[in-house]
Structure 1
């Protein structure tokens, strides 16, 4: 299939993890890399939408404090994690450091950025405490992030 994650056997992965999902060289020669940052075990658990939504806002905002090469942080439709899309090629440990620093910022946040009707399409669906709980749980398992398969 054309979509990398559709070729991943979701039964064989063991969340939480951070996995290089794809590297693309664009026609102009620029390189982008996509990482699968999986918080929940596929088909077993998922993130509740207000927590996922708030974590999206928080990670999108705070990740850019640590790198100007963040292109996008997007939630997965299955609500089990996020795709982190970065400019250029990255050392794996640098990606882990970026994710860790970003989630540590989430724990220190006092509000969800842009969680209002002017800047968000569903402003009522947010929870700072829920996003922080998800971040805290993921950070507590930092030693497991490199282990993708059971």
Structure 2
């Protein structure tokens, strides 16, 4: 891999990382000075394991909704196509420890949820593909390794 690619994660050596972790992946500054901080929330070890789609889909809905109870700086929480984690984007918020706390509180809320928000044909593009219990299992596993979140490389 000699040429630098436009997408930050394509320049990351996925064979060297050690999931689970949360790392600052990118910062973009807008024309008016607003800064978007994009975090790589890696749940599964790349090329070794992945989240099943119904569980990942439900976790996406839950985190997208519940995270906003803890911060008004959330821009987006989106799943990675490789099904190993999520990107978490915040505006004008660069406190890494606070981001970790935000994710921890959000995942604790996931464990308490009794339903997946917007899990219906009117509000979701694939409402049949959800698993609340699967989402909770992923959240529980990630929370159980909270002490590892700051270590990106083995």
Q: Give the alignment of 1:71-150 within 5 angstroms.
A: 71-150=75-154
CA distance in 2, matches of 1:36, 1:142: 15
Matched residue SS, 2:120: coil
Q: How many residues align?
A: 150
1:82-139 Cα distance to aligned partner (Å, 9 max, x none):
0000001321100100000000000000000000000000000000000000000000
Q: Which runs of 4+ in 1 moved over 4 A?
A: none
CA distance in 1, matches of 2:36, 2:20: 23
Give the structure 2 partner of residue 7 of structure 1. Answer: 11
Matched residue SS, 2:97: helix
For structure 1, the residue ranges without an aligned partner over 5 or more in a row are none
CA distance in 1, matches of 2:33, 2:50: 37
Give the structure 1 partner of residue 26 of structure 2. Answer: 22
CA distance in 1, matches of 2:69, 2:59: 15
State the superposition RMSD in angstroms: 0.5
CA distance in 1, matches of 2:37, 2:127: 30
**Cα shift at 1:8:** 0.2
Decide which of 51, 54, 57 is 1:53's aligned counterpart: 57
**TM-score (ref. length: structure 1):** 0.99
